[in-house]
Amino acid sequence: MYDFSYHRPTSLQDAVSLLAKQPDAKPMSGGMSLLPSMKLRLSKWTDVVDLAAIPDLSGIREEAGHIIIGARTRHVEVATSALLHAKLPALAELAEGIGDPLVRNRGTIGGSIANADPAADYPSSVVALDATIITTRREIAADAFFTGLFETALAHDELITAVRYKIPKRAAYMKFRHPASRYAIVGAFVAQMEGAVRVAITGAGPHVFRIAAYEDALTKTFSSAALDGVTPKLPSLNTDLHASADYRAHAVVEMVRRAVKAAAARKSI
Amino acid sequence: MAATTKTTGIGAALRRKEDLRLITGRGEFTDDFREAGQLYIYFLRSPHAHARIIKIDATEALALPGVKSVLTGKELLADGIKPLPHHVWALHPADIAMPNVDGSETFMAPHHAIAVDKARHVGEIVAMVVATSVALAKDAAELIHVEYDILPSVTNTWDTVKQDAAVVWDENGSNVCGDVETGSREDTNAAFAKAAHVARIETWVQRVTGVPMEPRAALAVFDEGTGRVTLTAGSGGSVRLKYDLAHMLGMKSEDVRIIMKDVGGNFGTRGMIYAEFCLVGWAARRLKTPVKWTAERSESFQSDYQARDLAVTAELALDKDGKFLAMRGSNIGNAGAHTSNFSPLQKGVEIMTSIYNIPTACFRARPVVSNTLPTRPYRSAGRPEVMFVMERLIDIAAREFGFDRVELRRKNLLHKEDLPFKNPFGMIYDNGDYHAVMEQVLELGDWTGFEARRAEAKARGKLRGIGVANYVDTATGVPRERAEITVRPDGQVDVIIGTISQGQGHETSFAQLATEFLHVPEDKVNIITGDTDVVKVGGGTHSGRGMRLASIVIWKASNEIIAKGKRIAALMAKADPAQVTFEKGHFHAAGQSLSLFDVARAASERNDLPDDLRAPLYAMSDETVNEAAFPYGAHVCEVEIDPALGTVEIARYSTVDDVGRAVNPMIIHGQTHGGIAQGVGQALMEEIVYDRQSGQLMTGSFMDYTMPRADNFPFFDAGFAEIPCTTHPLGIRPAGEGGTTPALGVTMNAVVDALRDFGVTHMDMPATPEKVWRAIHRKA
Ligand SMILES: Cc1cc2nc3c(=O)[nH]c(=O)nc-3n(C[C@H](O)[C@H](O)[C@H](O)COP(=O)(O)OP(=O)(O)OC[C@H]3O[C@@H](n4cnc5c(N)ncnc54)[C@H](O)[C@@H]3O)c2cc1C
């Protein structure tokens, strides 16, 4: 780690102004992605702004037909939420599959989404459930949020405060784990929303993406058979030691199929 | 598990005494030690696989307040620090000699602790920074300017022997350090000429790394008054480290002290001195200040010795009935950037034919260097590799020539009447019942019920496969070991032993030996290791020698304690020493019953004893055991493959290892379970990858290097046989490596069997999901 100044503001306003003052200041939530990269000296920040002391940033509630999750809500809270198990079990299951208990006890949904790791799980839920990212400045639609590899629409001094999810009729997340890191080689989130089905894929490309051809087919008939004969148009996919692009392309098809089967087996809400 | 109801001594499945301490954070690992005023070390390592070092400028680094020193290869040579004392070949009398065909010497080059002329692998140390904190030392390292002349590199084992390969050691002119032929070429070729069938394999047993749970660390203190260096560090053994460190630092061995308390894993890759240990000691002496170094995990990936990495081409000749006639081939062992250790090549090639009755064989063996981390023996050094080759060859032959896999093994496995048996390379197998053990594991793994399970899996859309593999393991290693036993009047027995545990449970199993022989409860036995001021002789933990040798010296020392005790008891009871008996911890003499501790007390209190019986009641046994042991066994593995993604699940895994005599069955099972995980890890998951062009290490963290985890495995069906070993006075065979030795072959046999309908006859390890998926979908 390089030397840095540590701040622990008690209001969003203070946090934002600390960030605004320093071009190399960085917010910290659970620290599960930020700290390892700092420890490995892969990133260098003059100031770390810890969000832990800011009130009202965590919690899961239902409001006007939506689920609202505070940015500092930890993975373990999402995984064990009775509300989510009743209304949006796919999201609880996704959170249960992140990392290990230590990571789930500290890592947060806001941190994960802001980090925009191409292999992270949460981004698929944000896009598939047509969520809205609520920030200190504005509301950002899911489709406009993830802009590139580790890149989002957030400004330097803009903080996520909550994520507002639509409640789908049925949804499921299927993750094909990377054998070493256990992040997603391919994660497929399939959601049957009011009027349309959305399919979002994480792990396979530079950032989460949707598959229009699958969405159209599934909107017509919500069953895995509907995917037969449909050729998805995929963006250019990642290649690494454990999965080449063509293997990933195949896994995308397979994981969507499994997610559709799992979702179709659920009771519609 | 063999039925045993013993609750104490040899055969008792006791829980490990040390575990509560270890799992509640009360272990004392190297990093737990600190000294007032200690400085911290950070090593600047080469980012290049192969580069000439032109210039190192540390001016800026040294200007940082708190930076005490930056040392490079120049200072190393100026201070006369010697290269690492490698012995490339195993010198145990039972291992075969490895002379070059042309009579030349094996090529060996000095392995300096800091690169002096060239960096030969990514991660090789080019400078050592000493500062008041680790963070500061890292800051300073970033300010050291090293000018490199980057050279072409070679990492892949097959590439090393090519004409146009980059040469790692110019002094040798090529990467081939030796060219050895074992067995008889003439007889072998004659047998091949007559063969009805020849099965072939070309395979690379990939490189892996040891991944001990505790990363390496070292703390050195120099005492100006006595001139002694004390090094706290974990290794395979303390005594050898003392001599090796003294040698490198140019000191007398009595001026070096090693302290080694708990060690979190060894597996061989941690088995001997490392450059860092010497450098930490050197820095402490040079700066006259305690210095400390603790590796981070990413540093371990680029500085721990790596392992395996054997390229093999092999052929097996069979007659028309499936009788094995001969075997031949060529092994290339990749030693990495330094000529550090070729013994895995040697220990593999000497038992290529395993426990099959193969009359003749001939193998070429070449150790080579490359721009990769040096390799060392790793759990069962060299044997898992060759057992993999043999067991794969048998399955290939069975498939290709229409034999049943099990029948082919039954036909060729040595019978107990054939033993002792001299294999075609000259190794003499002791005793055992290879057939019985294989039949036992086939039963345990329900081999005959398998086809029903295959069909059931198929109905679920899964591909199920089964494999069987036999193995033999040559246990040699450092032949000398010592035990010193003191019976204390306060009711405790101290056992000083030269072999330290890195997690094998010695505190419990060695105590059980003392309990067996001296009849004192295990909790009264203190196993003392890990301080070379106390422990003078001992060979360390490797090559199945821990229990094998410790049992002999603890037994002999115990016998001497009893003999002395009888004489003391005789004096106490005024009886004839020849009439004194020792039973259940008591000496019976002339109607009196005296406990071992009564006698120990008498030895310290009475002044009428002859000199050799005066307190303490002590005995020492120091033995050199020149015989090898040949633990053997058989495993059955069953896998289930998801054809859609190519993922392989271990569905069932059964083992029968002949341990001769099980001292602690629970510890043996623990060793077997861990060993299986390491073997299956290699078969399905683990691989150290270097970029073939740049020589960069691509698997430098757990993000890319796949470690096997508990959820990758089912519960194991581990059994064992106890056929007493005829070359060990107590019948004990080694039990620490058998979990790994056949695991590579048996797992891959099961994977290939699961894929039989797709025309797959062989697959190189690891059988990763993508590789399996490609095989199923016939994609290159
Ligand atoms: C061993 C391990 C395994 C893991 N496995 C997985 C896995 O399987 N799947 C997975 O998805 N993830 C995995 N992760 C990542 C984990 O989920 C992290 O918790 C998550 O990515 C980041 O959340 P955090 O709260 O820890 O954020 P931090 O690490 O604190 O921050 C991450 C980034 O987000 C920014 N940030 C944080 N909060 C905000 C905010 N409110 N507004 C704006 N920016 C913000 C930070 O500045 C930083 O750039 C793993 C991590 C580890 C260490």
Among A46, A49, A112, which is best to mutate for testing ligand 1, by the most ligand atoms less than 8 A from CB?
A112
Taking the C-alpha atoms of A253, A255, A256 and A259 in order, what is their torsion angle to the nearest 10 degrees? 160
Residue B359: cis peptide before it, omega within 30 degrees of 0: no
The 10s digit of each residue's pLDDT in B159-199 is 999 999 999 999 999 999 999 999 999 999 999 999 999 99
Quickly count: other Cβ atoms within 10 Å of residue B19's Cβ. Answer: 12
**Do residues A189 and A246 both lie within one domain?**
yes
pLDDT range class, residue B779, cuts 50, 70, 90: confident
The 10s digit of each residue's pLDDT in B53-67 is 999 999 999 999 999
Beta carbons of B770 and A1 less than 8 Å apart: no
Q: Please, what is the Cα angle at A180 between B217 and B635, to 5 degrees?
A: 90
Tokens of B397: 């032959």
A61 touches chain B (CB under 8 A): no
For chain B, the maximum distance between any two Cα atoms, rounded to a whole number of angstroms, is 87
Q: In which domain, by residue range, is A97 found?
A: 5-35+57-166
Which residues in chain A are contacts of B685 at CB distance < 8 A?
179-180
State residue B175 phi and psi, 5-degree precision.
-90, -5
Closest-approach residue (CA) in chain B for A249: B645
Q: What is the DSSP letter of B515?
A: H
Confidence at residue A171, expressed as pLDDT on a 0 to 100 scale: 98
Contact predicate B657/B631, CB 8 Å: yes
Counted domains in chain A: 2
- The CATH number of the domain holding residue A13 is 3.30.465.10
Confidence at residue A269, expressed as pLDDT on a 0 to 100 scale: 80
Q: What is the DSSP letter of B253?
A: G
**Do residues A178 and A150 both lie within one domain?**
no
Beta carbons of A1 and B135 less than 8 Å apart: yes
Beta-bridge partner residues of B294: B217
**A window 115-174, beta carbon within 8 A of B:** none
Distance from A204 to chain B by nearest Cα, in Å? 14
Contact predicate A189/A200, CB 8 Å: yes
Res B780 pLDDT > 70: no
Q: Which of B457, B408, B418, B381 is nearest to B641 (CA)?
A: B457
**Do residues A119 and A245 both lie within one domain?**
no
Lowest-pLDDT choice from B239-248, B667-676, B771-780: B771-780
Q: Where are the alpha helices (DSSP H) in chain A?
A: 12-21, 34-39, 75-79, 82-87, 89-96, 101-106, 109-115, 122-128, 142-145, 212-220, 245-264
Using CB atoms, pick whichever of A180, A244, A250 lies closest to residue B705: A180
In a domain, A47, yes or no: no
Residue to substitute from B702, B770, B779, interface A, most A β-carbons within 10 A: B770
Q: How far apart, in whole angstroms, are the C-alpha atoms of residue A241 and residue A244? A: 7
In a domain, A72, yes or no: yes
State residue B719 phi and psi, 5-degree precision.
-120, 175
Ligand 1 residue neighbourhood (C-beta within 6 Å): A 26-34, 36, 51, 71, 98-99, 103, 107-108, 110-112, 114-115, 117, 120-122, 154, 159-160, 182-183
Distance from B399 to chain A by nearest Cα, in Å? 29
**Do residues A30 and A116 both lie within one domain?**
yes
Give the Å distance between the CA of A112 and the centre of ligand 1.
4
Domain extents in chain B? 19-26+480-624, 33-151+212-266+270-303, 306-476+628-776
Q: How far apart, in whole angstroms, are the C-alpha atoms of residue A8 and residue B375? A: 48
**Fold match between B33-151+212-266+270-303 and B306-476+628-776?**
no
**Do residues A161 and A176 both lie within one domain?**
no
Which amino acid, residue B263? Answer: V
Residue A248 three-state SS:
helix
Distance from B547 to chain A by nearest Cα, in Å? 34
Residue to substitute from B211, B296, B645, B692, interface A, most A β-carbons within 10 A: B645
Q: Which CATH number fits domain B19-26+480-624: 3.90.420.10, 1.10.260.40, 3.30.365.10, 3.30.230.30?
A: 3.30.365.10
> Which ligand 1 atom is at minimum distance from the Cα of A99?
5
Give the Å distance between the CA of B215 and the centre of ligand 1.
26
A179 touches chain B (CB under 8 A): yes
Confidence at residue B615, expressed as pLDDT on a 0 to 100 scale: 81
pLDDT range class, residue A29, cuts 50, 70, 90: very high
Average pLDDT over residues B330-351: 98
Last residue of a domain, one of A145, A166, A187: A166
Residue environment code for A224-253, b if the CB has 16+ CB neighbours within 10 A, otherwise e: bebbeeeebebeebbebbbbbeebbebbbb
Res A34 pLDDT > 70: yes
Confidence at residue A146, expressed as pLDDT on a 0 to 100 scale: 98
Average pLDDT over residues B498-504: 92
**Do residues A132 and A11 both lie within one domain?**
yes
Last residue of a domain, one of A133, A150, A166: A166
Give the Å distance between the CA of A98 and the centre of ligand 1.
10
Residue B698 three-state SS:
coil
Q: Which of B313, B345, B249, B391 is nearest to B683 (CA)?
A: B391
Domain B33-151+212-266+270-303, second-level architecture: Alpha-Beta Complex (3.90)
Using CB atoms, pick whichever of B703, B770, B779 lies closest to residue A180: B703
The 10s digit of each residue's pLDDT in B390-407 is 999 999 999 999 999 999
Quickly count: other Cβ atoms within 10 Å of residue B75's Cβ. Answer: 16
Which residues in chain B are contacts of A242 at CB distance < 8 A?
704, 706, 768-770
Confidence at residue B754, expressed as pLDDT on a 0 to 100 scale: 98
State residue B136 phi and psi, 5-degree precision.
-65, -40
Tokens of B67: 């930076």
Confidence at residue B4, expressed as pLDDT on a 0 to 100 scale: 59
**Do residues A159 and A185 both lie within one domain?**
no
Which residues in chain B are contacts of A179 at CB distance < 8 A?
685, 706, 768-769
In a domain, A40, yes or no: no
Contact predicate B256/B493, CB 8 Å: no
Last residue of a domain, one of A166, A195, A227: A166
Give the Å distance between the CA of B234 and the centre of ligand 1.
35
Q: Which CATH number fits domain B306-476+628-776: 3.30.365.10, 3.30.565.10, 3.40.50.720, 3.40.50.2300?
A: 3.30.365.10
The 10s digit of each residue's pLDDT in B256-304 is 999 999 999 999 999 999 999 999 999 999 999 999 999 999 999 999 9
Tokens 């496969």 sit on residue: B465
**Do residues A243 and A210 both lie within one domain?**
yes
Q: Which of A66, A64, A65, A79 is nearest to A112 (CA)?
A: A79
Res B738 pLDDT > 80: yes
Closest-approach residue (CA) in chain B for A254: B644
Using CB atoms, pick whichever of A2, A41, A247 lies closest to residue B770: A247
Quickly count: other Cβ atoms within 10 Å of residue B534's Cβ. Answer: 14
DSSP states of B67-116: EEEEEEHHHHHHTTPPPP----S---TTSPP--BTTSPPPP-----SS-S
Res A116 pLDDT > 90: yes
A254 touches chain B (CB under 8 A): yes
Beta carbons of A2 and B768 less than 8 Å apart: no
**A window 21-50, beta carbon within 8 A of B:** 40-41
pLDDT range class, residue B1, cuts 50, 70, 90: very low
Contact predicate A42/A34, CB 8 Å: no
The 10s digit of each residue's pLDDT in A74-101 is 999 999 999 999 999 999 999 999 999 9
**Do residues A29 and A132 both lie within one domain?**
yes
**Do residues A61 and A111 both lie within one domain?**
yes
**Do residues A13 and A131 both lie within one domain?**
yes
Among A32, A94, A185, which is best to mutate for testing ligand 1, by the most ligand atoms less than 8 A from CB?
A32
Give the Å distance between the CA of B685 and the centre of ligand 1.
26
Which residues in chain B are contacts of A246 at CB distance < 8 A?
779
3-state helix/strand/coil string of B701-766: CCCCCCCCCHHHCCCCEEEEECCCCCCCCCCCCCCCCCCCCCHHHHHHHHHHHHCHHHCCCCCCCC
Using CB atoms, pick whichever of A2, A3, A180 lies closest to residue B706: A180
Confidence at residue B486, expressed as pLDDT on a 0 to 100 scale: 98
Using CB atoms, pick whichever of B704, B707, B773 lies closest to residue A241: B704
In a domain, A28, yes or no: yes
Closest-approach residue (CA) in chain A for B768: A242
Using CB atoms, pick whichever of A40, A181, A243 lies closest to residue B770: A243
Average pLDDT over residues B750-755: 98
Tokens of B662: 């099980």
Beta carbons of B698 and A241 less than 8 Å apart: yes
The 10s digit of each residue's pLDDT in A149-201 is 999 999 999 999 999 999 999 999 999 999 999 999 999 999 999 999 999 99
Using CB atoms, pick whichever of A1, A181, A247 lies closest to residue B703: A181
Beta carbons of B645 and A246 less than 8 Å apart: no
Closest-approach residue (CA) in chain B for A99: B703
Verdict on whether the full-model pTM lies above 0.90: yes
Q: How far apart, in whole angstroms, are the C-alpha atoms of residue B177 and residue B339? A: 8
Sheet holding B217-223, edge to edge: B67-72, B125-131, B39-45, B291-294, B217-223, B228-233, B256-259
First to last CA, chain B: 44
Which residues in chain B are contacts of A2 at CB distance < 8 A?
135, 139
DSSP states of B371-418: SS--B---SSTTHHHHHHHHHHHHHHHHHHHT--HHHHHHHHBPPGGG
pLDDT range class, residue B778, cuts 50, 70, 90: confident
| Mean pLDDT value across chain B | 96
Average pLDDT over residues A50-62: 98
Q: How far apart, in whole angstroms, are the C-alpha atoms of residue A263 and residue B291? A: 59
Beta-bridge partner residues of B428: B422
Res B736 pLDDT > 90: yes
- The CATH number of the domain holding residue A231 is 3.30.390.50
**Do residues A63 and A149 both lie within one domain?**
yes
Contact predicate B552/B510, CB 8 Å: no
First to last CA, chain A: 48
The 10s digit of each residue's pLDDT in B520-565 is 999 999 999 999 999 999 988 898 999 999 999 999 999 999 999 9
Q: What is the DSSP letter of B203?
A: E
Residue A228 three-state SS:
coil
Q: How far apart, in whole angstroms, are the C-alpha atoms of residue A139 and residue A164? A: 10
Closest-approach residue (CA) in chain B for A242: B770
Give the Å distance between the CA of A79 and the centre of ligand 1.
16
In a domain, A30, yes or no: yes
